[in-house]
Amino acid sequence: MDLDLDERTTGFRDEVRAWLAEHVPRTPLASFDTAAGFEEHRAWEAKLADARLSVVSWPEEFGGRDRSLLEWVLFEEEYYAARAPGRVSQNGIFMLAPTLFSHGTDEQRHRILPAMARGEQIWAQAWSEPEAGSDIAALRSTARRTGGGWLLNGQKTWSSRASFADRAFGLFRSDPEARRHHGLTYVMVDLRADGVTVRPIPQLDGEPGFAELFFDNVFVPDRDVIGEPGEGWRVAMTTANNERGLSLRSPGRFLAAANALVREWRGAGEPAGTAERVADAWIGARAYQLYTFGTVSRLEAGGKLGPESSVNKLFWSRLDVDLHETALDLLGPEAEVSPEWTDGWLFSLAGPIYGGTDQIQRSTVAERLLGLPR
């Protein structure tokens, strides 16, 4: 067991650090949940891609660098430490792409991934429905067979980035006779297609970070189905584990925030009242980093990401909220006028809800890791 980095890895990390130091915008971009900010972030994705830093762990043929999972984790640490812009493309690169790598065809990968890596196509997720939140298998939107493809009907909601995104991916019921997890199909759909209506929904910060999607006989060609029709649940589980597990919340985010929190605490004269919580936030971020190193080592030794990803999500979602609450308590009356912390706080509040609520994750841990009865 060791935590040593070889020369190839440190060389890569140093390159990333130097590039970010030179290129990260001095003033933060506008929120990617505004029309203007969305395009600024899209341009940033292109800039990252020009340096071949947008998707470092992907194969080179799709715009990546064939870097290891460990190097991806280190990339993320550098990225957050440099306070680089949020990834407007995260739904695509962290959720859809792993699904395409596991279940897509060569044609799909070549058609979709390079454009995703450059930010030319930005993806929204389309999981939840008005009657299917935690109980995602209760979804009712349909995909009906038609010549050369499928016709989508129904409604999706809480669709992150959909207000301005180009395309979306999600599950639709293709076999009306089948129940629950059966008869679902994993579909990619153009949000500009005929029959799609996008209704932006403002989030807590007032910006339309998600949207409702209405589908009225929207045509989707066969080539935009991932995996076999009717097998969508199994296909989607790849994505779900990625969302809960390694990808959407890399340890870099928490380490950067925890280090910033310690600096704030020091700057405030090391108040005793918050010392315990500040220390716990830092310890939690370090624990999550090391836990991730362990997961990466396990995966690189041939292991798989299973229900442990629920442990992961339970931990970081709580850490993120606690860390930001601590910062706000530390700042006192300054807190409410400190967007560098309130933005992160508002963002953190979504963590225990999306990707399966923390209550669902606890049940998953209890049933699948501990073997308690359903």
Partner 1 sequence: MKFLLSEEQDRFAASVDDLLANREVDSATRAWARGEHDEGRKLWRALAEIGVTALGVPERYDGLGASDLDLVVAFDRLGYHAVPGPWTDTVAVLPALLDDELLAGVAAGDTLASVAFGPHVPYALDADIADTRVAVDGTALHIFRPASRLSSVDGARRLFRIEPGERIGEADPGRAFELGALTTAAYLLGAGQWLLDASVGHAKQRRQYGKPIGGFQAVKHLLADVVTGLELAKPLVHAAALTLAPRDVSAAKVAAGRAAHLAARTGLQVHGAIGYTGEHPLGLRLTKVRALRSAWGTPAFHRARVLESV
Query: Can you give the binding site for partner 1, defined by CB under 8 A?
Result: 1-5, 9, 70, 259, 262, 265, 270, 275-276, 278-280, 282-284, 286-288, 290-291, 293-294, 296-298, 301, 308, 310-311, 314-315, 359, 361-363, 365-367, 369-374
Residue-by-residue DSSP string for 90-140: HIIIIIIHHHHHHH--HHHHHHHHHHHHTTSS-EEEE--BTTBSS-GGG--
Minimum distance, C-beta of residue 276 to partner 1, in the bound complex (Å): 6
Minimum distance, C-beta of residue 369 to partner 1, in the bound complex (Å): 6
- CB-side neighbour CA atoms (13 Å) of 9: 11
Calpha distance 71→60 (Å, rounded)? 15
Nearer to partner 1, 183 or 355 (CB): 355
Nearer to partner 1, 128 or 295 (CB): 295
Nearer to partner 1, 39 or 322 (CB): 322
Calpha distance 57→189 (Å, rounded)? 25
Calpha distance 41→100 (Å, rounded)? 24
Minimum distance, C-beta of residue 368 to partner 1, in the bound complex (Å): 10
Nearer to partner 1, 30 or 366 (CB): 366
Minimum distance, C-beta of residue 291 to partner 1, in the bound complex (Å): 5
| CB proximity list for 99: less than 8 A, separation 6 or greater | 169, 186, 226, 235, 236, 238, 239, 242
Minimum distance, C-beta of residue 81 to partner 1, in the bound complex (Å): 14
- CB-side neighbour CA atoms (13 Å) of 180: 3
**283-288 LR contacts (CB < 8 Å, sep 24+):** 284/254, 284/258, 284/315, 284/319, 284/322, 284/323, 285/251, 285/254, 285/255, 285/257, 285/258, 285/319, 285/323, 286/255, 286/258, 287/315, 288/251, 288/254, 288/315, 288/316, 288/319
Nearer to partner 1, 233 or 282 (CB): 282
Nearer to partner 1, 145 or 298 (CB): 298
Minimum distance, C-beta of residue 151 to partner 1, in the bound complex (Å): 39
Catalytic residues: 243
Helix (H) / strand (E) element for 344: namely helix 339-350
